[in-house]
Amino acid sequence: MTTPSAPRRAAHLLLGLAALAPLATGQTAAHRANAFATAQGAGVLAPAPRDNVLVLLADDMGAERVNAYGMDVVENPPTPTLDLLAKYGVLFRNAYAEPLCSPTRAAILSGKHPFRTGIGRGVSWNGGGGDVEADPADVTLADALAATHRTTAVGKWHLSIRETAGGTGYQHPILYGFDRHVGILRNVPNTPTGYWDWTKSFADATGNTQVAVTDTYLTTDQVDDAIAAIDEAGEDPWFVWVGFNTPHNPFHVPPADLITVDVDASSSNSALHGAMIEAMDTEIGRLLRSIRPAVLARTWVIFLGDNGSPGPALPGILDAKGDVTEYGIHVPLLVVGPRVARPGREADGLVGVTDLYATICDMARVPVPADGVDSVSFYPYLVDPETPHLRDHVYAETFRPNGPPPHQVHKRAVRGDRWKLVRNTPPDSVPATGLYLLPLDPDESTNLFPPQTTAQQQALSWATALMLELQ
């Protein structure tokens, strides 16, 4: 197969996103409403009771890995699909996740911080060390949308424990509110062929469970399943959650038809991590092109990372994934959809992953359950560029073991518009306490703790008070 160039892939995707163009060009609400009406009259948009929501969650991918962020930390591959999402939507400059994948997934789906969900580190499929899975009693996003949308979880789940170890196993996504799950419950085997040799499962609300080993390239298989879920929904509103394993290790050379970068098995981890990102970008493009224009035009597309990139993919950066440093929790967040005002812009307000809970409810036009106590909808940023900042802080944490305290390790961070406080207990990583003025020190190279000025002391007091509340 001939490898398509990045510009060609971008051009093809542009055709797929054409349905959004009438909504992306208006500069005022009146213009956008007129464009929407015109599109409906032309038959481009079919009436639908509610909008669709497509969540695309990358695994181990910090903001520095997306070209549109322009951070110049590491050489990045072409990402024409993500670039177009930024062009037609909103790029969130200050979006934050938890430092590891399971805590972020639980936080998004429940609208609650890890100390409330009890998920502070990766959930062990084998249930080692008395591990716990995400609580099925949580009122999840899928629960909130159950009455109005078809709900499908595709790909990596990483919130459950196998039945033989005391968990709910393959049925956990169903107990967590989804109509069905198809994909993988955990990480792939950490072997050179892990992405081609993995266990795929299917579960639905009837109790049906199927499990088989497959040799289809994982990223391709996940997009195939997302396409099938969207096609099967027909004209019904849908919520499709796509949890990619990419670009989580094992680092490898993806299929040649998915990449343009020149890599082989001897390439650096950074280069292979980048190639995996390009392969995912290519497959996301295929997914979006597969959606009928009339359906795409009433679909919100959300792309984000579940935590920062791993240290081996970022030469010279030691504290990344797994830590509450900027490189551990600062993630890409790109959103495109039918009511985005002034597309192609950035929003600099603080956003935490818990905020997707209320935001997606607003997108789907369903009430926000009261259970999502830590979620602040950022929907106003999307529809009104003049929206003032909605948050004065974001919070991130990781701990082990999962479950209630006491914890052997607890890493926490509070970040405001300017100041960030980090506390590591016990001090198994440096520093035990860190205070940073991020506008002047985005890499957190200068620890201002203990404070020497009134401003530093005030920042410390403010952040410390918040940490006392968030526990």
The number of angstroms, rounded, from the C-alpha of 327 to the middle of its chain's C-alpha atoms is 15
Q: Is the dihedral of CA 372, 155, 281, 143 positive or negative?
A: negative
- Is 50 exceeded by the pLDDT of residue 246? yes
Determine the pLDDT at residue 313.
94
- Whether the upstream peptide bond of residue 401 has omega within 30° of 0, thus cis, is yes
Q: Are 76 and 284 in contact (CB under 8 A)?
A: no
- Is 50 exceeded by the pLDDT of residue 29? no
Determine the pLDDT at residue 9.
53
Q: Are 274 and 87 in contact (CB under 8 A)?
A: no
* Nearest Cα to Cα of residue 173 among 158, 163, 187: 158
- Is 80 exceeded by the pLDDT of residue 428? no
What confidence category does residue 6 fall into, taking pLDDT thresholds of 50, 70 and 90? low
Lowest mean pLDDT, pick from 382-391, 398-407, 429-438: 429-438
Q: Mind listing the domains of the chain with CATH numbers?
A: 50-383 (3.40.720.10), 394-469 (3.30.1120)
What does the pLDDT look like over 186-198, one tens digit per residue? Answer: 999 999 999 999 9
Determine the pLDDT at residue 390.
98
Dihedral pair phi/psi, residue 330, rounded to 5°: -80, 115
Q: Report the distance separating Cα 330 and Cα 64, nearest Å.
A: 8
- Is 80 exceeded by the pLDDT of residue 13? no
What confidence category does residue 7 fall into, taking pLDDT thresholds of 50, 70 and 90? low
More confident residue, 6 or 285: 285
Lowest mean pLDDT, pick from 24-33, 102-111, 384-393: 24-33
Question: Percent of the chain scored above 70 by pLDDT?
Answer: 89
What does the pLDDT look like over 130-147, one tens digit per residue? Answer: 799 999 999 999 999 999
| Token duo for residue 136 | 């099925």
Helical (H) or strand (E) element with 336: strand 333-336
Determine the pLDDT at residue 17.
58
- Is 60 exceeded by the pLDDT of residue 169? yes
**How large is the average pLDDT for residues 227-233?**
97
- Is 70 exceeded by the pLDDT of residue 345? yes
Q: Are 296 and 17 in contact (CB under 8 A)?
A: yes
> What SS3 state is found at 34?
helix
Determine the pLDDT at residue 49.
65
Determine the pLDDT at residue 33.
30
Lowest mean pLDDT, pick from 86-90, 259-263, 325-329, 429-433: 429-433
pTM of the model: 0.92
- Is 90 exceeded by the pLDDT of residue 422? yes
Q: Report the distance separating Cα 206 and Cα 203, nearest Å.
A: 8
**How large is the average pLDDT for residues 108-114?**
98
**How large is the average pLDDT for residues 221-243?**
97
Determine the pLDDT at residue 299.
98
